[in-house]
Structure 1
Amino acid sequence: MLITFLAARTGTRIERIDIGDIDAENVTAFLDYLEDERGNSTATRNTRLSGIRAVLAHALPAHLEHAGTITRVLAIPPKRHPKPMLEFLTPAESDALIAAPDRTRWTGRRDHALLVLAIQTGLRISELTSLTYADIRLGVGANVTCTGKGRRTRSTPLTSTTVAVMTGYLAERRARPGEALFCGPRGQHLSPDALEHRLKIHVATAAAECVSIADKHVTMHTLRHTAAMTLLTHGVDISVIALWLGHQHTQSTDAYLHADMAIKQAAIDRTRPPNTDPGTYQPEPDILAWLATL
């Protein structure tokens, strides 16, 4: 992409682009082009910059005659941008979404089981799509086992509600071909795009019963956030939530603390004077009239 951009910008044929053309000015113009014309996000812009810097850092020892040019490109800082607040579903929204699939059809019963499992366990979309029969145990100590990032294997316990749903689903699923837990028409594993597509359909259906869900950008990762926020609101320690989600460091889980306004409200309530009732301040009915007399 950078070479094509440089060829158009400099009026040079692609095969004649030299490493000297990759200077700080041209690279900055390329990054601006990504955001302004291609509509890429700031995160994508920074990822492209990291790729360019990695290649130039590798090329530097062999092209010391361009050391000054390359060093200035390596000094281009990534663009800072505010991180958006985590989006998650309320209990009412979760219930509406789980009830959305048409359970008179096989695909609806499959999607219902998938949503129940996803919202309760918080598995990543890649972890959900790779599940097989052997990964779920519904007896004593019911749990689902998956392989997540870094090839780390973890087991997540299942609630009695999830066990009941999965028991009914598996009884029907075993009559179909393949070993994928959530399968397509021919028994193959569903793709991430297929899951997102099905979720979009069910969100639209759920919006008819729960209007607030229509205002949210709901993805499969939103269901993961929902599982984490459910644990947090029930008083589960943040380090346990990190283990539950398969985070290698608890810093990745700290974002849920910022997203939970109930925790912040409880903290500010504890800072009120002892004789003050918790809650939002409500002025006296005649306070404005009294102020007008001053």
Structure 2
Amino acid sequence: MIALTLGDIHLTTAPHVACHGKGRKDRITPLTSQTRAVMRAWLTEQTGQPSDPLFPARTGHRLSRDAIEHRLAKHATTATTGCPSLNGKRVTMHTLRHTAAMRLLHAGVDTTVIALWLGHEQVATTGIYLHADLALKEQALARTKPPNTKPGRYHAPDTLITFLDGL
């Protein structure tokens, strides 16, 4: 698990989080302007050394994995008020990681860039996100449609369905 410290957050030009994580890999993750604003407000409340935890427990030490999972579950439960489709779903830190990757993919970010952000050894590992999303596959197929064809899904004629049913 990655233990972020106050020194890992950089909010000047090109705001980002720098961390040393699993597999001894260094990762740089850009921050959105909204996240930058929230982090700037959070850091004004924090005092301490750059080596101090970014999100400390009551004891001043870093939060444990269980503590983070507990907080995430608590906030996911609260979020069901505004997003009922979350009800009954298990939201984990890994779920957030996959969601971020899928949102980047939907935004048109190249898989090689996503692989770098996720710290994948090989870009092929990031390919699972391409296989996981039917909408992306349909978009790719739509770009390759022959000219002079009507858009939409193919619907087989009844004679073909009857023939296939008879097999």
State the TM bucket, normalised to the shorter chain.
0.7 to 0.9
In the alignment, which residue of structure 1 is the partner of 2:52?
Answer: 179
Structure 1 residues 276 and 215: alpha-carbon distance in aligned structure 2, compared to 1, 3 A threshold: farther
Offset, 1:275: 3.4
Aligned residue number for residue 150 of structure 1? 23
- Aligned pair count? 155
**Other-structure match for 1:260:** 133
The structure that is strand-richer by fraction is 2
Match of residue 167, structure 1, among 40, 53, 57: 40
In angstroms, what is the RMSD of aligned CA positions?
Answer: 2.3
TM-score, L = length of structure 2: 0.83
Measured at CA, do residues 200 and 136 of structure 1 come closer, stay the same or move farther in structure 2, by a change above 3 Å? same
Could you tell me how far 1:161 is from its partner in structure 2?
1.0
Q: Deviations over 1:187-237 (max 9, x none)?
A: 110011111111111111111211111243210111111111111111111
**Which ranges in structure 2 are unaligned for 5 or more consecutive residues?**
156-167
1:228 aligned partner: 101
Of the three residues 127, 152, 167, the one matched with 1:279 is 152
What SS does the aligned partner of 1:147 have? strand
Normalising by structure 1, what TM-score?
0.49
**What secondary structure is seen at the aligned counterpart in 2 of 1:144?**
strand
Q: Which runs of 4+ in 1 moved over 2 A?
A: 267-282
CA deviation string 1:55-108 (max 9, x = no partner): xxxxxxxxxxxxxxxxxxxxxxxxxxxxxxxxxxxxxxxxxxxxxxxxxxxxxx
Aligned pairs for 1:1-294 (under 5 A) are 126-127=1-2, 130-174=3-47, 179-280=52-153
In the TM superposition, residue 238 of structure 1 has moved relative to its aligned partner by 0.8
Deviates more, 1:267-276 or 1:238-247: 267-276
Q: In structure 1, what is the Cα distance between the partners aligned to 2:150 and 2:9?
A: 48
Counterpart of 2:53 in structure 1: which amino acid?
A
SS in structure 2 of the partner of residue 223 of structure 1 = helix
Higher helix share: 1
